[in-house]
Amino acid sequence: MQKTIHQFVDKAIQLNLLDELDYNYSVNRLLALLNLKEAGAPESAQTETTLLDYMDELVQYAKEKDIIEETQSDTEIMEARIMDLITPLPSEVNHVFWDKYNESPEDATDYFYNLSQQNDYIKTRNIAKNIIFSGESEYGDLEVTINLSKPEKDPKEIAKASKQASVHYPKCALCMENEGYEGHANHAARQNHRIIRLDLPKETYGFQYSPYVYYNEHSIFLNETHMPMAVDRKCFNNILEIVKILPHYFVGSNADLPRVGGSILAHDHYQGGHHTFPMEKAKSFKNINIKRFSDVEAELVHWPMSVIRLRSENNKALVDASTFILDQWINYSDEGLDIIAFTDDVRHNTVTPIARFKDGKYEMDLVLRNNRVSEEHPDGIFHPHQDVQHIKKENIGLIEVMGLAVLPPRLVTELETVKAFLLNQSSIEEVTSIHQSWAKEMSEKTETITEENVQVVLEENLTEKFARVLEDAGVFKQTDEGRAGFIRFIDALNQV
């Protein structure tokens, strides 16, 4: 273990995570962490052994010596504690980030992203387990990932979590107080977590990466104050301000109502990153004119969800136009299309906004949302309907809206039963029950299914299902009736 400690520190120096002057200090910190009193002779790191390989050895030693329990939470806490030793203090990370930013915003984000991967805050090895593919649809290629990166808790872990004393610090997973927090059975370890501070017009926001990135440089921008998220003028202004700071990133917000919003509505935050989503590539089906805003170009997008795309060189004009459209949409009803703005005092309409800088202009996509339920659709009229919930029944949030399906891990084993049936290796009764109708449908409509093409058949049909999921979530469907309804809303805007 003395040898491993030396090799871990040497590898960190090779990766420029530590300076050579930090060698003895870092070795001694690791000795203390593992209850060792002597360091032994220095050892050079092996070329083929990664920093995370050495971390694994250190953690395994801690388990063998009963320094930690063999649970997921104790493992992650020890991993974060070790990697924190080779991660600069938050102040230094911020200084380096903004020094690099003066050269180039991309240099700054490259530095921060690489650091977050090297110090294992971004779980690169877990993310590599995800199943990722793309498939064709009438709206262009859609992206699909089956999320396998988050480890599931075993019974021992669940039992430990149930005994954990109630702790209300940090208030949630997005609070700035997570930076450096040890964690426990009910809260993720964040000792190796770092946050860049962004000064927006009226508030400070934190910029961090998601530990389980779903796309390139998957970022989170969080309010320094724990307060509920809202889609409003401030939101539109903030996401455009962040795009102004990081023009190579898109920035968007989940909707702010239950059923159409994200999983965390209690903390004001946005998401962004360095990725071109399918929705951004989608073409318009109609150019429109919003009379109040002559310096804002506008179009309706050929996309399964209902997207108004605004474009201008003038940020304030975009904020004004977005706010006007939202205000009108909040009170808009089209009962023939099941769009009703309020039930008593309960609001149903909101938007999912996405901002970017493209071809010298700022863009704002406003995706119209409605969260009303009915007897026929108790999960939501504009939510995945029950016949597609065997694939996706969770909320359709910002990431799915833009054309990337994040599907649940249960599908891996469930799809194996579908595959066996398609290859005539099992009966329909052996297929996971929720997929039986779908499996029959695929078998009947596909002429030849072999070992060589069965995966392609599954992926094509999963993509088709995802397109249906998005169509269900669209308030104005891509039909003659739906498009006519969309135009009625635009006409209503121009009558105000």
**Residue 166 pLDDT > 90, yes or no?**
no
Mean pLDDT of 92-99: 98
pLDDT at 65: 97
pTM over 0.85: yes
Q: Is the pLDDT of residue 164 over 80?
A: no
Answer whether residue 151 shows pLDDT above 90.
no
Are 471 and 478 in contact by the 8 Å Cβ rule? The answer is: yes
Q: What is the pLDDT of residue 158?
A: 62
Kindly report, residue by residue over 427-485, the tens digit of the pLDDT.
Answer: 999 999 999 999 999 999 999 999 999 999 999 999 999 999 999 999 999 999 999 99
Query: Mean pLDDT, the chain, as a whole number?
Result: 96
What per-residue confidence (pLDDT) applies to 162?
65
* Per-residue pLDDT at 153: 63
